[in-house]
Structure 1
């Protein structure tokens, strides 16, 4: 099968979408399929079409990704589609409802290709980045919802790693079945035993983490990630714990505000903002930490939780988030509903000595030992086959699409 993956951001950026698209494309090729990622890059001045990646010019943008396609005229889209036509794709896979997803949907429409949509976040999460005034937020919400509905209505199959996405579809008025596919990361790359000792020590030395209990959060610094809530809870219950450090790995539009909040809460000595860290360096940061923590209540997908578990880190996350995958309360992590619970779980881990923490890391890693980086790709390939059958062999949908002018007769 020959697959086109449309994504707003891609490796070496960190976050769910770039990590997920990179891993899927890599696994498809290892399974002897063809996969090309179509993305935007602020460093590009013109379309760059290579064998495995096609990049369109990007520009900095106040959105979840930090950038977006810089050209959106019909002529620019025609140039992109002309470059993509030569690849002879069998299917298009898009993530959420950014501008690249719109390009993917329209490309699938133009060439009558099956379309698969992966829901990786809520469309409402983009609203604060689309307008700087509360007055225009209803307009921004209407626009984002309309875009999401357009893509979801056209998609042959819709997938997510979290069943919350099904409720989300229903609330948006989209009566479609959701296909759940568990999230996976590369178990070998994130194994604690495989981390480069020199890189791990370099991280510990750089941020003065030696002999400290380190809680790590990794991800884009967006308001919906709940890092502000995490800081406030940390300040109210854990600020006096001298042996604790909170390592916040990543960057994003909320970084400056979060740094200011940390300072106002007098957390300067406990909370460390690393800034952007390339995906290839993340194993060392996980290996330099003792646990993963997040107060986010909304994300549908969390690659960081999956990666942290593979690195042997017990994960402490909000019970309102419930990231899909292998996290099991009391076995390899905890769900908390209050600051007191968060504090209790963190202190339990901090109270362990070196040998106790190492034993905990091995136990957590053992709970995900059966994870295969190709498992998600194989499940997705099965879904692609269903999408192709539905797209081409459902007479009712085919006729409806023809009447609506979505595909040619």
Structure 2
């Protein structure tokens, strides 16, 4: 099968969507399929294909993390996509490149898959002043509905995506397909003790301190401010628990100032941006992954932490409730007191109990590799491909639904 994946950002940029597309591409190729990634690139003035990636000229948008935005219409781009002759077109973003995928699917008469990765209601503040948030939210919902109407199939990494589509007025079924993680890169067996020791020395964290970490873009939607507030309310120096915030973003300075005002600066470290290939020893040096975000769908950073054996402390989020199983791969908190209780519970475990917990956490993501993601997605592709071919030839092949495949793989 030949699959064209459309994404506004791709390597060397790193974010959740980039990681998802990268892992999906690798998984599909391992299974023998051909993949073309179509992406915006502000470093080029002409379209070109290299290593399975179609680079499209774009304008650099400094306000949006220096990502590129490409024009949705390009004859040259369409010719290159036609030459690739995809069986499936799959869009992962909603802007210039995403619209380009929608139009290419229509012109080339190819099935279109649309994956929603982002809860845009949480990001409106980036582009609209407070008095226009309501108007922009309605516009965002209409836009999402328009894209969904154009798609032959919808997917998303959590039930939260299905709820978002529903709120936008979309009545189609949504295939919930969890995100994936580079299991080998984040396996604790592949991370040396020396690198973990170097991490603690670099940030002056004593060996008797338990480390809770958060990894991600430091924007308002990640609710790191909630973690800091809860920390100030319930964690003391005597607990010997250190919080490390890994990442950068528009709220970094504001959060650093908040930690100072709350009197917890000595218990909190902000590392700034860390290159993705340098991240495994950071996570492996920590003891717990903590998040208060209610905007994430199926956080890849969280999955990377779990792949290193970190139990997750997740703020109560009903639509993501199935991602953390109490005592199996993490714990749920809903206020400062319960957060502190869960942190202390982990800290007070014996080495034997911690080892059992870590093994359980790693086991919970063992079906989150590249080929697993590819197989999940292939059920969607094959069903559409089958429908498309049936309309042309009158012959059909049976393929299982994604929900059934997920059920089967969980039972293994």
TM-score bracket relative to the smaller structure: 0.7 to 0.9
Distance 2:16 2:60 in 1: 20
Structure number with the higher helix fraction is 2
| Residue 283 of structure 2: aligned partner | 286
From 225, 229, 233, give the equivalent of 2:230.
Answer: 233
Q: State the shift of 1:231 in Å.
A: 1.4
- Distance verdict in 2 for CA 1:138–1:323, change over 3 Å: closer
Q: 1:135 to 1:326 in 2, by over 3 A?
A: closer
Whether the 8 Å contact between 1:290 and 1:357 is mirrored in structure 2 is no
One of 138, 149, 154 as aligned partner of 2:150: 154
Alignment correspondent of 1:13? 13
Structure 2 Cα separation of the partners of residues 269 and 205 of structure 1? 15
Cα pair 1:221 1:254 within 8 Å, conserved = yes
State the distance in 2 between where 1:58 and 1:203 align.
37
Deviations 1:291-319 (A, max 9, x none): 10000123222112222211110001012
Post-superposition shift, 1:55?
2.4
Superposed counterparts of 1:338-357, under 5 Å: 338-352=335-349, 357=354
CA offset digits 1:167-214 (Å, max 9, x no partner): 222211111011122333232221111114443333222212341211
Alignment match, 2:106: 109
Cα separation, 1, equivalents of 2:94 and 2:285: 35
Using the TM superposition, give the Cα deviation of residue 384 of structure 1 relative to its aligned residue in structure 2, in angstroms: 0.6
Question: 1:128 Cα shift?
Answer: 1.1
Q: Can you give the 5+ residue segments of structure 1 that lack an aligned partner in the other structure? A: 396-409
Q: Distance in 2 between matches of 1:336 and 1:169?
A: 27
Correspondence 1:129-208 to 2 at 5 A: 129-131=126-128, 133-208=129-204
The structure-2 alpha-carbon separation of the partners of 1:391 and 1:237, relative to structure 1 and needing over 3 Å to count, comes to farther
After TM superposition, list the pairs within 5 Å mapping 1:301-320 onto structure 2. 301-320=298-317
Retained in 2: the 8 A contact 1:326–1:368? no
**Alpha-carbon distance in structure 2 between the residues aligned to 1:277 and 1:325:** 29
Matches within 5 A, 1:117-132: 117-131=114-128
After TM superposition, the structure 1 stretch with the greater mean CA deviation from structure 2, 292-301 or 6-15, is 6-15
What number of residue pairs does the alignment pair up? Answer: 390
Matched, 1:299 2:296: yes
Matched residue of 1:361: which SS? helix
In 1, Cα distance between equivalents of 2:365 and 2:134? 43
Tell me how far 1:278 sits from its aligned partner: 2.1
1:359 and 1:73, CA in 2 relative to 1: closer, same or farther beyond 3 A? closer
Post-superposition Cα deviations, 1:76-96, rounded to whole Å, max 9, x if no partner, equal x33332333322222111124
Partner of 1:60: 61
Q: Match of 1:292, SS?
A: strand
CA RMSD of aligned residues (A): 2.5
- Give 1:242 shift: 5.8
Q: 1:326 to 1:137 in 2, by over 3 A?
A: closer
1:399 counterpart residue number:
none
Q: Which residue of 1 aligns with 2:403?
A: none
Q: Which residue of structure 1 aligns with residue 71 of structure 2? A: 72
